Amino acid sequence: MSDETTPTGGTAGAVEQLAENTCWELLRSAGVSRLAVWVEDHPDIFPVNHAVDHGTVVFRTAEGTKLSAALADVPVALEADGYDAGTGLAWSVVVKGRAGRIGRAEELEATADLPLLPWQAGPKGVFVRIVPGLVTGRRFPVADPSVWRTALSDAHRAAPE
């Protein structure tokens, strides 16, 4: 199963900065991302299952969790990444902005149709929306595809959307 390759020295460091619309396309294609947030005196990271909604990113979490407690209009960063076996390139997109709970009834109703699954099974009472201040992305050749590769993008492309 190992498909270890030699480092792609010939294309060393060929990083492509992605246009914002490409970033959004990639975000839509990824089901799982990681959210970074400051908790007490440290950054912390939580995997979340996000959806893109009218230029914002929405995810669900459980009431009473550490993540839930940390999310009160604070600056956050959400990162999604993936690997395209066809091109041999990986990508990473980061959304920086403020996270806030979706509280008003009409807003909650509007999220009902989003393909939002909780990142773990079980009741997930809190919907959180990230309003982006900055969306950036990069595409780059990877040194060792067998280590880097994630099936996230493939998996999500195969899912109904």
Cβ contact 90:82 at 8 Å = yes
User: 142: helix, coil or strand?
Assistant: coil
Least spacing, CB of residue 30 vs a copy of itself, in Å: 9
Q: Is 86 in the site for a copy of itself (CB under 8 A)?
A: no
Which amino acid would we find at residue 128? V
Structure tokens at 26: 């990639």
Distance between CA atoms of 143 and 90, rounded to whole angstroms? 10
Separation between Cα atoms, residue 14 and residue 9, nearest integer Å: 10
The 8-class DSSP code of residue 132 comes to: E
CA–CA separation, 39 and 70 (whole Å): 6
Using the rule CB under 8 A, is 4 a contact of a copy of itself? yes
Task: Tell me the closest approach of the beta carbon of residue 41 to a copy of itself, in angstroms.
Answer: 6
Between 109 and 161, whose beta carbon lies closer to a copy of itself? 161
Judged by CB under 8 A, which of 18, 23, 32, 130 binds a copy of itself?
Answer: 32
Asked whether position 149 contacts a copy of itself by CB under 8 A, the answer is: yes
Query: What is the CA 30 to chain-centroid distance, rounded?
Result: 7
- Interface pick for a copy of itself out of 18, 57, 94, 102 (rule CB under 8 A): 94
Q: Which stretch binds a copy of itself (CB under 8 A): 18-26, 102-110, 135-143?
A: 135-143
The residues pairing with 48 across neighbouring beta strands, listed in sequence order, are: 33
141 near a copy of itself, judged by CB under 8 A: yes
Candidate list 75, 107, 109, 125; residue touching a copy of itself; CB under 8 A:
75
Separation between Cα atoms, residue 145 and residue 2, nearest integer Å = 10
Which residues of this protein are in contact with a copy of itself, per CB under 8 A? Answer: 1-2, 4, 7-9, 11-15, 31-32, 34, 36-38, 41-47, 49, 62, 75-79, 81, 90, 92, 94, 96, 117-123, 140-144, 146-152, 154-156, 158-160
